[in-house]
Structure 1
Amino acid sequence: MPETLPPSAYPRYRSTLFSIALMLVSTALTAAPVVRPPSGTDVDETRMVSQRTAPPQPCIAVPLGRVTVLLDPQELAVRAAARPAQWTTESERMALIEGQRAAALLAAATATVPPNGSTATAHGCSHTVTTLDAQAQYTLLAALEAGSATVLVAGDKRPAAAVAIRYLGTRCGPLCGRGLLMVSVPGQSAPFLVQDWWVS
């Protein structure tokens, strides 16, 4: 007969599997970093970035006017847990910053209790972020750049297949210039997210 695990081994076995899963997800999240155009230069580049076509479960809803962005809290938790206590390399420094930003967004998510008494929004998310600080907004932008978000437009039956991310930088002198990142849904006239990129 095949050997079976004793009941006392189940918690340890599940813990090991969970650790392996976290490691695999963490590797996937950091395997292909997004390379932006050079900052501090004149640039006007727009990229079409495919997004998830099905909402993650569970999910966090971030309403931005007529657009709602859904994020995977498990991915955010992995980023937050992966931040090092100290850093000695540039990659460790960035992991610390990204982990702090992910933790900030998770902390900003509040439980959603719609009037009908259910525990989820119409999108199936049990938590919502209604106020984005700078840290949380960077995390939202990073998810859109990586294509790991689900983007819903009011009135549309299906999530947007992609978003347009515009990198706009203008220099007006050695110590004069500004860069912006603008995210929009193709076909819409205005971006639903605008983020400072660089300032000189």
Structure 2
Amino acid sequence: MHRPALRTLLGARALARNPARRAMPTASHYHRTSNEASTAMRQPSTNTPRPPSRTGIAARIAHQLLAPCVLALSLGTSMSSHGAGPAAAPERPPAGTDVDETRTVAQRTRAPADCLSVVLEGVTVLLDRSELSRQAHAKPTQWKTEAERMALIEGRRAAALLQAAAPAQGSSPACHPVTQTLDGDDQFVVLAHLERGAAAVLPAGATQPVPSVAIRYLGQRCGPLCGRGSIMVSIPGQPQPFMVTHWWAS
């Protein structure tokens, strides 16, 4: 038997005795598999999420910082949404925006029989003590909704203003004067009554209330984290407001 034929025969017998040798990969197989793995590693995955851009991150940070600032100083706007007493105030312009709007709001033409008086820049504002008392006693002890939370805050404000008033003098009608300087909460109580038209307003030296007041909502933005808003109340025809309340800031 020739040698090539002998080698072929011996190789066939070896494969028959050890079948596992049939599946052994060749050198070319290793080379091809290595190239395929290397190519797969070089190709970027289409499912890899893109990192957020700097602009997107800055916008999210600005929103997170701005919202609490606007909310903290625009707390008085809740008076507009939920109201106090028998009538709710009209909706204010949105806080945190550029706005310059003036509204003429009719007020009481007579002083309340049981009143609380506040003097602001020479102008006397008379509030109904019975209405303040109802608001103070109607506040919930606990809250579960936003309306209940704001009713609790507004009731506490009304109660604090009632406590700040001195005993009534012997005038008619009997008014309990508030002689101390009003803080932010007190101002929001007075402002809410003016927005609802529930106050009587007397200019300096006058004996009869004016029929209406002008309420100006002024907001100015200068950037994502820059801006402020104020609410100014004045008597029509007078150049200066008698009440200026901080509305919002950022």
Whether TM-score is above 0.5 comes out as yes
Tell me which residue corresponds to 1:72.
128
TM-score, normalization: structure 1? 0.79
* CA pair 29-47 structure 1, distance change in 2 beyond 3 A: same
Tell me which residue corresponds to 2:208.
158
Moved over 4 A (4+): none
In the TM superposition, residue 124 of structure 1 has moved relative to its aligned partner by 2.8
In the TM superposition, residue 33 of structure 1 has moved relative to its aligned partner by 3.7
In the TM superposition, residue 28 of structure 1 has moved relative to its aligned partner by 8.2
The count of residues paired between Structure 1 and Structure 2 equals: 167
Measured in 2, the distance between the counterparts of 1:157 and 1:76 equals 24
Tell me which residue corresponds to 1:110.
166
Q: Are the equivalent residues in 2 in contact too, given 1:66–1:154 (CA < 8 A)?
A: yes
CA shift digits 1:59-85 (9 cap, x unpaired): 111111321000100000000011101
The partner residue of 2:174 within 119, 125, 134 is 125
Matched, 1:143 2:210: no
Matched, 1:97 2:153: yes
Measured in 2, the distance between the counterparts of 1:105 and 1:89 equals 25
Tell me which residue corresponds to 1:44.
100
Give the SS at the match of 1:194: strand
Which is greater in Rg?
Answer: 2
User: What is the RMSD of the two structures over their aligned residues, measured on CA atoms?
Assistant: 1.7
Q: Are the equivalent residues in 2 in contact too, given 1:61–1:125 (CA < 8 A)?
A: no
TM-score, normalization: structure 2? 0.64
Higher helix share: 2
In the TM superposition, residue 112 of structure 1 has moved relative to its aligned partner by 4.3
Of residues 89-98 and 41-50 in structure 1, the stretch that sits farther from structure 2 once superposed is: 89-98
Identity of aligned residues (%): 59
Q: Which amino acid aligns with 1:106?
A: L
Unaligned runs of 5+ in 2: 1-82
Unaligned runs of 5+ in 1: 1-26, 114-118
Higher strand share: 1
Tell me which residue corresponds to 1:172.
222
Give the SS at the match of 1:107: helix
